[in-house]
Protein backbone atom coordinates (compact mmCIF):
# COMPACT_ATOMS: atom_id res chain seq x y z
CA UNK A 1 0.00 0.00 0.00
CA UNK A 2 1.41 3.38 -1.01
CA UNK A 3 1.94 6.22 1.44
CA UNK A 4 -0.94 8.08 -0.19
CA UNK A 5 -3.28 5.13 0.37
CA UNK A 6 -2.08 4.70 3.96
CA UNK A 7 -2.72 8.38 4.67
CA UNK A 8 -6.23 8.09 3.21
CA UNK A 9 -6.94 5.04 5.37
CA UNK A 10 -5.65 6.78 8.49
CA UNK A 11 -7.76 9.88 7.84
CA UNK A 12 -10.85 7.79 7.08
CA UNK A 13 -10.45 6.10 10.45
CA UNK A 14 -9.19 8.91 12.69
CA UNK A 15 -10.21 12.14 10.96
CA UNK A 16 -8.27 15.01 9.35
CA UNK A 17 -4.61 15.64 10.16
CA UNK A 18 -2.68 18.89 10.44
CA UNK A 19 -0.35 20.14 7.73
CA UNK A 20 2.80 19.45 9.86
CA UNK A 21 1.90 15.77 10.31
CA UNK A 22 1.22 15.38 6.59
CA UNK A 23 4.46 17.23 5.77
CA UNK A 24 6.56 15.04 8.07
CA UNK A 25 5.01 11.79 6.86
CA UNK A 26 5.61 12.71 3.21
CA UNK A 27 9.29 13.46 3.83
CA UNK A 28 10.26 10.95 6.51
CA UNK A 29 7.89 7.99 6.52
CA UNK A 30 10.29 5.02 6.95
CA UNK A 31 8.73 3.02 4.13
CA UNK A 32 7.83 5.63 1.55
CA UNK A 33 9.02 9.06 2.70
CA UNK A 34 10.82 11.17 0.10
CA UNK A 35 14.03 11.54 2.10
CA UNK A 36 13.89 7.99 3.40
CA UNK A 37 14.07 6.33 -0.01
CA UNK A 38 14.21 8.69 -2.99
CA UNK A 39 15.88 12.09 -2.47
CA UNK A 40 17.13 13.23 -5.87
CA UNK A 41 19.29 16.37 -6.01
CA UNK A 42 20.92 18.03 -8.98
CA UNK A 43 20.09 19.18 -12.49
CA UNK A 44 18.84 15.71 -13.42
CA UNK A 45 16.88 15.25 -10.20
CA UNK A 46 13.98 17.02 -8.50
CA UNK A 47 15.68 20.20 -7.31
CA UNK A 48 19.05 21.93 -7.24
CA UNK A 49 20.68 23.74 -4.32
CA UNK A 50 23.30 26.50 -4.30
CA UNK A 51 26.28 24.17 -3.62
CA UNK A 52 25.34 22.30 -6.79
CA UNK A 53 25.12 25.51 -8.80
CA UNK A 54 28.79 26.36 -8.26
CA UNK A 55 31.79 25.52 -6.10
CA UNK A 56 31.99 29.24 -5.28
CA UNK A 57 29.11 28.97 -2.82
CA UNK A 58 30.72 26.42 -0.52
CA UNK A 59 34.17 27.96 -0.90
CA UNK A 60 32.98 31.35 0.33
CA UNK A 61 31.16 29.76 3.25
CA UNK A 62 34.50 28.12 4.00
CA UNK A 63 36.21 31.52 3.99
CA UNK A 64 33.51 32.82 6.34
CA UNK A 65 33.94 29.81 8.65
CA UNK A 66 37.72 30.23 8.71
CA UNK A 67 37.44 33.92 9.68
CA UNK A 68 34.80 33.07 12.28
CA UNK A 69 37.11 30.43 13.77
CA UNK A 70 39.90 33.00 13.91
CA UNK A 71 37.65 35.45 15.76
CA UNK A 72 36.75 32.64 18.18
CA UNK A 73 40.44 32.44 19.14
CA UNK A 74 41.37 29.51 16.84
CA UNK A 75 40.11 26.80 19.23
CA UNK A 76 41.38 23.25 18.79
CA UNK A 77 39.44 21.11 18.54
CA UNK A 78 36.14 22.56 17.39
CA UNK A 79 33.06 20.91 15.92
CA UNK A 80 32.44 21.78 12.26
CA UNK A 81 28.81 20.77 11.84
CA UNK A 82 26.58 20.76 8.79
CA UNK A 83 22.89 20.05 9.18
CA UNK A 84 21.11 18.74 6.10
CA UNK A 85 24.31 18.33 4.07
CA UNK A 86 22.70 17.17 0.81
CA UNK A 87 25.17 15.22 -1.29
CA UNK A 88 28.21 16.61 0.57
CA UNK A 89 29.14 19.23 -2.02
CA UNK A 90 29.00 22.19 0.37
CA UNK A 91 31.21 20.54 2.98
CA UNK A 92 33.65 19.39 0.30
CA UNK A 93 34.03 22.93 -1.05
CA UNK A 94 34.16 24.40 2.47
CA UNK A 95 37.05 22.10 3.41
CA UNK A 96 38.89 22.96 0.21
CA UNK A 97 38.72 26.65 1.16
CA UNK A 98 39.92 25.64 4.63
CA UNK A 99 43.27 24.69 3.13
CA UNK A 100 44.09 28.39 3.32
CA UNK A 101 44.91 27.67 6.97
CA UNK A 102 46.08 24.10 7.69
CA UNK A 103 45.51 24.70 11.41
CA UNK A 104 41.80 25.17 10.70
CA UNK A 105 41.59 21.79 8.99
CA UNK A 106 43.60 20.13 11.73
CA UNK A 107 41.35 21.53 14.45
CA UNK A 108 38.03 20.75 12.71
CA UNK A 109 36.03 17.70 13.75
CA UNK A 110 33.51 17.27 10.93
CA UNK A 111 30.00 16.20 11.92
CA UNK A 112 27.10 15.75 9.51
CA UNK A 113 23.55 15.76 10.85
CA UNK A 114 21.60 13.65 8.36
CA UNK A 115 18.51 11.44 8.71
CA UNK A 116 18.39 10.16 5.12
CA UNK A 117 20.16 6.87 4.46
CA UNK A 118 20.50 7.47 0.69
CA UNK A 119 21.97 10.92 1.26
CA UNK A 120 24.42 9.61 3.87
CA UNK A 121 25.70 7.22 1.22
CA UNK A 122 26.21 10.06 -1.26
CA UNK A 123 27.97 12.17 1.37
CA UNK A 124 30.31 9.29 2.24
CA UNK A 125 31.13 8.75 -1.44
CA UNK A 126 32.15 12.41 -1.77
CA UNK A 127 33.81 13.03 1.61
CA UNK A 128 35.27 9.67 2.55
CA UNK A 129 35.72 8.64 6.15
CA UNK A 130 36.51 12.01 7.71
CA UNK A 131 32.98 13.02 8.77
CA UNK A 132 30.98 11.42 11.53
CA UNK A 133 27.24 11.08 11.07
CA UNK A 134 24.40 11.60 13.53
CA UNK A 135 20.67 11.97 13.16
CA UNK A 136 20.17 14.92 15.51
CA UNK A 137 22.16 17.93 16.64
CA UNK A 138 22.07 16.81 20.27
CA UNK A 139 24.02 13.70 19.25
CA UNK A 140 27.04 15.86 18.33
CA UNK A 141 29.25 15.78 21.44
CA UNK A 142 29.51 18.97 23.44
CA UNK A 143 32.54 20.28 25.26
CA UNK A 144 34.07 22.19 22.34
CA UNK A 145 33.07 25.28 20.34
CA UNK A 146 30.96 24.79 17.24
CA UNK A 147 30.68 26.31 13.80
CA UNK A 148 27.43 25.11 12.24
CA UNK A 149 26.20 25.55 8.68
CA UNK A 150 22.68 24.73 7.47
CA UNK A 151 21.77 25.44 3.85
CA UNK A 152 18.16 24.76 2.84
CA UNK A 153 17.32 22.99 6.09
CA UNK A 154 14.73 25.33 7.60
CA UNK A 155 12.45 24.92 4.57
CA UNK A 156 12.32 21.17 5.30
CA UNK A 157 10.75 21.82 8.72
CA UNK A 158 6.94 21.96 8.70
CA UNK A 159 4.68 24.92 9.39
CA UNK A 160 1.12 25.10 10.65
CA UNK A 161 -1.24 27.07 8.43
CA UNK A 162 -4.09 29.28 9.63
CA UNK A 163 -6.85 30.65 7.39
CA UNK A 164 -8.95 33.72 8.11
CA UNK A 165 -12.69 32.98 7.79
CA UNK A 166 -15.81 35.05 8.40
CA UNK A 167 -15.86 33.70 11.96
CA UNK A 168 -12.15 34.28 12.61
CA UNK A 169 -9.02 32.19 12.30
CA UNK A 170 -9.16 28.42 11.66
CA UNK A 171 -6.37 25.87 11.16
CA UNK A 172 -5.84 24.28 7.78
CA UNK A 173 -6.04 20.49 7.87
CA UNK A 174 -6.04 17.63 5.38
CA UNK A 175 -9.02 15.33 5.12
CA UNK A 176 -10.93 13.41 2.46
CA UNK A 177 -13.08 15.00 -0.24
CA UNK A 178 -16.32 13.58 -1.56
CA UNK A 179 -14.37 11.68 -4.21
CA UNK A 180 -12.16 10.04 -1.57
CA UNK A 181 -9.07 12.07 -2.54
CA UNK A 182 -7.06 14.11 -0.06
CA UNK A 183 -8.40 17.64 0.29
CA UNK A 184 -7.66 20.73 2.35
CA UNK A 185 -10.18 21.69 4.97
CA UNK A 186 -10.49 23.86 8.07
CA UNK A 187 -10.72 23.10 11.77
CA UNK A 188 -11.80 25.60 14.39
CA UNK A 189 -9.00 26.62 16.70
CA UNK A 190 -10.98 25.42 19.70
CA UNK A 191 -10.80 21.92 18.24
CA UNK A 192 -7.10 22.03 17.36
CA UNK A 193 -4.92 19.64 19.41
CA UNK A 194 -2.28 22.36 19.80
CA UNK A 195 -2.75 25.91 20.94
CA UNK A 196 -2.90 28.55 18.24
CA UNK A 197 -0.05 31.07 17.95
CA UNK A 198 -0.72 33.86 20.45
CA UNK A 199 -0.63 36.77 18.01
CA UNK A 200 -2.34 35.96 14.72
CA UNK A 201 -2.48 39.21 12.72
CA UNK A 202 -5.37 41.06 11.19
CA UNK A 203 -6.09 39.74 7.71
CA UNK A 204 -8.86 39.71 5.13
CA UNK A 205 -11.06 36.69 4.61
CA UNK A 206 -9.09 33.88 2.97
CA UNK A 207 -5.73 35.16 4.19
CA UNK A 208 -3.23 32.47 5.23
CA UNK A 209 -0.70 32.79 8.03
CA UNK A 210 2.07 30.26 8.64
CA UNK A 211 3.75 29.45 11.94
CA UNK A 212 6.60 26.96 12.28
CA UNK A 213 7.26 25.81 15.85
CA UNK A 214 9.78 23.37 14.37
CA UNK A 215 11.92 26.12 12.85
CA UNK A 216 11.81 28.15 16.06
CA UNK A 217 12.65 25.08 18.14
CA UNK A 218 15.73 24.36 16.01
CA UNK A 219 16.92 27.96 16.44
CA UNK A 220 16.43 27.65 20.20
CA UNK A 221 18.35 24.35 20.32
CA UNK A 222 21.24 25.82 18.35
CA UNK A 223 21.27 28.92 20.55
CA UNK A 224 21.44 26.87 23.76
CA UNK A 225 24.35 24.90 22.32
CA UNK A 226 26.19 28.11 21.45
CA UNK A 227 25.63 29.49 24.94
CA UNK A 228 27.17 26.40 26.51
CA UNK A 229 30.08 25.74 24.15
CA UNK A 230 30.52 28.92 22.11
CA UNK A 231 30.67 29.44 18.38
CA UNK A 232 28.39 30.43 15.54
CA UNK A 233 25.71 29.02 13.25
CA UNK A 234 25.03 30.14 9.70
CA UNK A 235 21.50 29.54 8.35
CA UNK A 236 20.78 30.01 4.63
CA UNK A 237 17.43 29.39 2.99
CA UNK A 238 14.69 30.83 0.85
CA UNK A 239 12.13 32.65 2.90
CA UNK A 240 10.94 35.89 4.45
CA UNK A 241 12.91 38.53 6.33
CA UNK A 242 9.78 40.25 7.68
CA UNK A 243 6.43 38.87 8.90
CA UNK A 244 3.96 38.44 6.06
CA UNK A 245 0.94 36.36 5.16
CA UNK A 246 0.90 33.77 2.40
CA UNK A 247 0.73 30.09 1.55
CA UNK A 248 4.26 28.85 0.83
CA UNK A 249 3.66 25.09 1.01
CA UNK A 250 4.86 23.50 -2.21
CA UNK A 251 5.83 20.14 -3.64
CA UNK A 252 8.66 19.90 -6.19
CA UNK A 253 9.31 17.03 -8.60
CA UNK A 254 11.55 17.18 -11.65
CA UNK A 255 12.07 20.92 -10.96
CA UNK A 256 8.33 21.53 -11.34
CA UNK A 257 5.64 22.37 -8.79
CA UNK A 258 3.20 19.50 -8.35
CA UNK A 259 0.11 18.91 -6.22
CA UNK A 260 1.30 17.95 -2.71
CA UNK A 261 -1.94 16.06 -2.01
CA UNK A 262 -1.47 13.63 -4.92
CA UNK A 263 2.31 13.08 -4.70
CA UNK A 264 2.79 12.01 -1.07
CA UNK A 265 6.31 10.65 -0.69
CA UNK A 266 7.08 11.15 -4.39
CA UNK A 267 8.08 14.82 -4.27
CA UNK A 268 10.04 17.16 -2.02
CA UNK A 269 7.85 19.29 0.25
CA UNK A 270 8.97 22.71 1.50
CA UNK A 271 7.75 25.88 3.19
CA UNK A 272 9.49 29.24 3.40
CA UNK A 273 11.95 29.77 6.21
CA UNK A 274 10.52 32.24 8.73
CA UNK A 275 13.73 34.12 9.55
CA UNK A 276 12.10 36.71 11.87
CA UNK A 277 10.75 33.92 14.09
CA UNK A 278 14.05 32.02 13.93
CA UNK A 279 16.03 35.08 14.99
CA UNK A 280 13.52 35.88 17.74
CA UNK A 281 13.70 32.34 19.13
CA UNK A 282 17.50 32.42 19.20
CA UNK A 283 17.54 35.77 20.98
CA UNK A 284 14.97 34.58 23.50
CA UNK A 285 17.28 31.65 24.25
CA UNK A 286 20.11 34.10 24.97
CA UNK A 287 22.15 34.01 21.76
CA UNK A 288 23.06 36.92 19.51
CA UNK A 289 21.29 36.84 16.15
CA UNK A 290 20.84 38.85 12.99
CA UNK A 291 20.79 40.97 10.97
CA UNK A 292 19.06 39.05 8.17
CA UNK A 293 20.94 39.49 4.90
CA UNK A 294 20.03 38.46 1.38
CA UNK A 295 22.19 35.78 -0.16
CA UNK A 296 23.44 38.37 -2.64
CA UNK A 297 24.55 40.72 0.15
CA UNK A 298 26.31 37.88 1.93
CA UNK A 299 28.16 36.43 -1.07
CA UNK A 300 29.08 39.76 -2.62
CA UNK A 301 30.53 40.97 0.68
CA UNK A 302 32.65 37.82 0.83
CA UNK A 303 34.08 38.50 -2.63
CA UNK A 304 32.22 36.14 -4.94
CA UNK A 305 32.76 38.43 -7.94
CA UNK A 306 36.54 38.30 -7.48
CA UNK A 307 36.38 34.51 -7.06
CA UNK A 308 34.35 34.21 -10.26
CA UNK A 309 36.92 36.30 -12.13
CA UNK A 310 39.76 34.12 -10.85
CA UNK A 311 37.98 30.95 -11.98
CA UNK A 312 37.14 32.46 -15.37
CA UNK A 313 40.75 33.55 -15.89
CA UNK A 314 41.97 30.06 -15.10
CA UNK A 315 39.37 28.46 -17.39
CA UNK A 316 38.48 30.87 -20.22
CA UNK A 317 36.53 28.09 -21.90
CA UNK A 318 34.14 28.12 -18.92
CA UNK A 319 33.87 31.89 -18.52
CA UNK A 320 30.27 32.09 -19.77
CA UNK A 321 29.21 29.19 -17.56
CA UNK A 322 30.82 30.79 -14.52
CA UNK A 323 29.03 34.07 -15.29
CA UNK A 324 25.72 32.21 -15.40
CA UNK A 325 26.51 30.50 -12.12
CA UNK A 326 27.34 33.84 -10.52
CA UNK A 327 24.05 35.30 -11.68
CA UNK A 328 22.16 32.25 -10.39
CA UNK A 329 23.64 32.74 -6.92
CA UNK A 330 23.40 36.54 -6.55
CA UNK A 331 21.02 37.78 -9.24
CA UNK A 332 17.95 39.57 -7.94
CA UNK A 333 15.68 37.48 -10.17
CA UNK A 334 17.48 34.27 -9.14
CA UNK A 335 18.62 33.16 -5.67
CA UNK A 336 20.13 36.48 -4.68
CA UNK A 337 17.03 38.13 -3.23
CA UNK A 338 14.75 35.19 -2.40
CA UNK A 339 17.39 33.44 -0.27
CA UNK A 340 18.25 34.94 3.11
CA UNK A 341 21.16 34.46 5.52
CA UNK A 342 21.14 34.74 9.31
CA UNK A 343 23.82 34.06 11.88
CA UNK A 344 23.36 32.93 15.48
CA UNK A 345 26.31 33.30 17.84
CA UNK A 346 27.47 33.04 21.39
CA UNK A 347 27.05 36.41 23.18
CA UNK A 348 30.77 37.18 23.14
CA UNK A 349 31.36 36.61 19.41
CA UNK A 350 31.10 39.08 16.51
CA UNK A 351 31.32 37.05 13.31
CA UNK A 352 32.25 38.56 9.94
CA UNK A 353 29.39 40.40 8.18
CA UNK A 354 27.23 40.15 11.30
CA UNK A 355 29.19 42.39 13.67
CA UNK A 356 26.10 44.36 14.66
CA UNK A 357 24.18 41.25 15.71
CA UNK A 358 22.17 41.76 18.88
CA-based Rg of the chain, rounded to a whole angstrom?
Answer: 21
Per DSSP, the three-state class of 142 is: coil
pTM (2 decimals)?
0.94
- Reply yes or no: is the peptide bond before residue 134 cis, omega within 30 of 0: no
Say what percent of the chain tops pLDDT 90. 84
pLDDT tens for each residue of 238-267: 999 999 899 999 999 988 999 999 999 999
Q: Beta strands of 10-84 (E only): which ranges?
A: 17-18, 78-83
Helix (H) or strand (E) holding 91: helix 89-97
For 247-277, b where at least 16 C-beta lie within 10 A, e where not — what string? bbbbbbbeeeebebbebbbbbbbbbbbbbbb
Chain-centroid distance of CA 225 in Å reads 18
Please report the domains of the chain, with CATH numbers, ordered by start residue: 3-32+160-210 (no CATH), 35-158+212-345 (3.40.50.12710)
96 by Cβ neighbours in 10 Å (0-12 / 13-18 / 19+) ranks as: middle
Of 54, 69, 83, the closest CA to residue 236 belongs to 83
Tell me how many degrees the CA angle 259-262-266 measures, rounded to the nearest 5.
90
- For residues 92-115, give the mean pLDDT: 97
Q: Measured between alpha carbons, how far is 102 from 236 in angstroms, rounded to an integer?
A: 26
pLDDT tens for each residue of 305-348: 999 999 999 999 999 999 999 999 999 999 999 999 999 999 99
pLDDT tens for each residue of 190-230: 766 676 676 777 777 888 999 999 999 999 999 999 999 99
First-residue to last-residue Cα distance in the chain: 51
What CA–CA distances, in Å, run from 316 to 59, 96, 325?
20, 22, 14
Residue 281 has pLDDT above 70, yes or no: yes
- For residues 269-295, give the mean pLDDT: 96
SS (H, E, C) 248-282: CCEEEECCEEECCCCCCCCCEEECCEEHHHHHHHH
326 by Cβ neighbours in 10 Å (0-12 / 13-18 / 19+) ranks as: buried
Average pLDDT, the chain: 94
Amino acid sequence: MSLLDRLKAQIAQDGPIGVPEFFTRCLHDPRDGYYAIRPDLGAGGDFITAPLVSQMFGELIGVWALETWTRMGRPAPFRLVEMGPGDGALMSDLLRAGRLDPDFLAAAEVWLVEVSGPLRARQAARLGERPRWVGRLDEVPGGAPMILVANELLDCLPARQFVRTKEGWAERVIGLGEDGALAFGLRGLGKSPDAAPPHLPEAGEGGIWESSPAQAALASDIAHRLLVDGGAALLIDYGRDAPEAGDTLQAIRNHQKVDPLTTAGLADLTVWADFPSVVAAAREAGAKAGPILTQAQFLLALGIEARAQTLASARPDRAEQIARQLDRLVGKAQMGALFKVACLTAPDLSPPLFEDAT
